[in-house]
A and B are shown apart, each in its own frame.
Chain A
Amino acid sequence: MDTPIAPEHDFHHPRLVWAALAVFCAALLALAVFQSAALVTLSYDWPPSPLTERTVQMIETWHGWMEALGPGEWTTALGESMEEQREALVAP
C-alpha cells in the first residue's frame, strides 16, 4: 500500500495529541472570530427549539461583537475585494 507516511514513523507521542488538539481548537477559534457570519448562517439551519433560539441569539451577539471589533468587517471587505478583482478580469 502506497501510504503518505512510512511505517518506521510508527510510535505514539501522547503529548502530540494535546498539541494537535490545540491546533484544532485554535483553528475553531479563528473560524469563530473571522468567519462569525458563517456561524450565524449555520445556526439558522438548526431545528427550532428553545435551546436553538437561545444559542442563535448568542451567536448573533458574538457576530455583532466581531463586526464591531473589526475581524468580521475585515472578512467582508476581503471577500468583496476578491469578488471585485475577479470581476475585473474580463474576457481575454
Chain B
Amino acid sequence: MLFPTVSFAVFFTGVFALSWAMRARVEGRKAFLLVASYVFYGWWDWRFCFLLAFASLVAWASGLLLVQDKCKSGVEKRTGKLILAIAVTVLLGILAFFKYYGFFLDSLQDLLFALNLQRDLPFLQIVLPVGISFFTFQAISYVVDVWRGQVTARRSPLDVMLYISFFPQLVAGPIVRAADFLPQLEKPAQLARPMVTVGLMLCLFGLFKKMVVANYLATDLVDPVFLDPADHSSLDVLMAVYGYAVQIYCDFSGYSDIAIGTALLLGYRFAENFNQPYRAVRLQDFWRRWHISLSGWLRDYFYIPLGGSRPTKKRGSRFGALLTYRNLLLTMVLGGLWHGAAWTFLLWGTIHGAWLALERLAGLNENKSTGGAIAGWFITFHLVCLAWVFFRAENMDGALTMLATFAAFEAGPSILTWFALALIFTSLAFQFGPARLPNRTGAMLGTMPLWITGLIFISGLLLTLWLAPGGTAPFIYFQF
C-alpha cells in the first residue's frame, strides 16, 4: 500500500478512528495497531508478514534471554555476548539472504568465468521483501540496546513487534530507536491540536514533494537521461544529475514527512530524518542533515564500536589517525552496501567515506569564513552529486557513460525544459530558506480553529493531485 493512494487514505482514516476509539485500552490499541501494520505490509505480499514476524520474534526472544542472563551471576557476560552474536547473525542472515545472495553468486560466477572455471551455481529467483533493510536494522538496534542496558527488554512480544512493524515507518524509515518509541507505548496516547496541524502539514508537504517535484523530475528528465546517457548532451547530463539530487531528496524526505506526520496523528513522535541537506558546507555536515536516522544508526552500532575517532584522540599518532580514517571508510562502505548489493552502491559509500576521511585529514572543520563556506558548499554539493551518479545508475557502465558524456562537453538536442529547471532550482533555493517549514506552518495553524487547517489540507491535497503527473510511482527507498 503506497502513501499517495486512495487505498491508503481510506485505510488511514479507519485506523485513525478505531485507534483513538481504543485510546484508554493501551494493550488493545497496541494489538490493533499491530494488526493494522501487518495488513499494511501484507498489501504487497502477505507471505512476507511471516518474515517480519520472525525478525520481530528473534529480537524479542533475544532481549528476554539477555535480561535473564544479566540476572544471573558468574559467567553471564560471555553468554550475553553469545546471545547477542547469535541474534545479530540471524537478523543479518535474513538481510544477507534476500539482498546479497544473488549479487554474491553473480560475482562468483564472473570470477570463475575469468579463471576459466565455469560451474553451475545454485541461482534462485529471490523477491526482495519491501523495507527489509529498515526492519532488520530496527530489530538489531533493539537487541543491542537491551544488551547495552539502554532499553529495558519487553516481556510482551506485542511491544517489540509493534516497534518493528509500526506501519508509518515500516517500509522506508525513519529508522526509529527503541529507546524513543517503546516508552511512548506505555501510557495512553495523547492528541493535542499542534499534533494534528503539524501532522497534516507534514503529510501535505510530503505528498507535494513526492507527487509533484520528484515524479515530474523523474519522468521529464532524470529517467530518460540515465536510461541512455550517450544519446543526450552534456548539459542534459549535468541537469539530470542535479535533477536526481532534487528528486531523491523530495522522494525520500517526502516519505519521511508523511511517516512522521501519520505517526504524529496517531499520537507518536518520531525524530526528524532530513534537515536541508543540500545547504551543508562539509560532507560531515551533510550526513548530519541527510537520512539522519541511518547515519545515527551507523554511528552508534558500527562506527563507535569499531573505535570511532578514539584512536586519534588516544594515541595522537599517525597510526591512530589512520585507524579513524579506516573506521570512516568502513562505515560509509557499509552504508553503501545497506542500500543494495551492487558495485555502484559500494563505490557510492567509498566516495563518501574517502571524502569524510579527507575532510578530517585536511582539518576542514575549522573553516568559518564566508568565502570558505561558499567554496565548501560548492564542493560538497558537487561531490554528493558525483556520488549520486553511481547511486542512480543501473550499473557501473551506465555511471561511467554518464560521466564520459558530461566530460565530452558536447552540445546536442536537449530534452531540458524550463519546467524541469524551475523545479530543480526552486527546490534547491528552499534548502536555504527557513528550516522545518511544515512544522512551522503547522505550529502557526495550531493557534487557529481546526477548520482552517482542514480547508488548507483539503485544498492543498486537491491542488497536488491536479498538478501531479498521472499514475502512482513507488518511492525510491522502497527498493531498499
Contacts and interface: CB of A to CB of B under 8 A. Distances in A.
Interface stretch (A10-18, A49-57, A60-68): A10-18
A13 B191 contact: yes
B414 interface: yes
A25 interface: yes
Interface stretch (B308-316, B331-339, B399-407, B461-469): B461-469
Interface in B445-475: 450-451, 453-454, 457-458, 461-462, 465-467, 470
Contact of A86 (B189, B265, B419, B436): B419
B191 A17 contact: yes
B190 A1 contact: no
Interface in B1-40: 5-7, 9-10, 12-13, 16-17, 20, 23
A91 B417 contact: yes
Given A20-B265, A28-B13, A35-B465, A5 B450 contact: no
Given A13-B192, A86-B419, A91-B416, A24 B13 contact: yes
B180 interface: yes
A11 B193 CA distance: 9
A48 to B, nearest CB: 17
B438 to A, nearest CB: 8
B417 A89 contact: yes
Contacts of B5: 42
A3 to B, nearest CB: 4
Interface in A30-55: 30-31, 34-35, 38-39, 42
A58 interface: no
A16 B191 contact: yes
Given A13-B192, A20-B450, A3 B271 contact: yes
Nearest to B438: A4
A46 to B, nearest CB: 10
B-side interface mostly: helix
A1 to B, nearest CB: 4
A4 B191 contact: no
B9 A4 contact: no
A70 interface: no
B462 A34 contact: yes
Contacts of A90: 417-418
Given A4-B264, A23-B454, A35-B6, A16 B196 contact: yes
A22 B20 CA distance: 14
Given A1-B269, A86-B419, A91-B417, A10 B192 contact: yes
Nearest to A32: B6
B254 interface: no
Contacts of B443: 5
B9 A31 contact: yes
Given A4-B439, A17-B191, A19-B450, A82 B196 contact: no
Contacts of B178: none
B198 A5 contact: yes
B88 interface: no
B450 to A, nearest CB: 5
Interface string B181-225: 000000011111111101010100000000000001000100000
A26 B438 CA distance: 21
A16 B6 contact: no
A23 B453 contact: yes
A9 B13 contact: no
Contacts of A86: 216, 220, 417, 419
A26 B192 contact: no
B421 interface: yes
B442 A30 contact: no
A11 B414 CA distance: 56
A86 B196 CA distance: 35
Given A21-B13, A89-B417, 4 more contacts: A3-B272, A13-B192, A23-B450, A35-B6
25 contacts: A1-B177, A4-B264, A5-B269, A13-B193, A16-B191, A20-B196, A20-B450, A21-B13, A21-B16, A21-B20, A23-B453, A23-B457, A27-B9, A27-B454, A27-B457, A27-B461, A28-B9, A31-B6, A31-B9, A39-B6, A79-B466, A82-B467, A90-B417, A91-B416, A91-B417
Interface of B: 5-7, 9-10, 12-13, 16-17, 20, 23, 177, 180, 188-196, 198, 200, 202, 216, 220, 260, 264-265, 269-272, 414-419, 421-422, 436, 438-439, 442-443, 450-451, 453-454, 457-458, 461-462, 465-467, 470
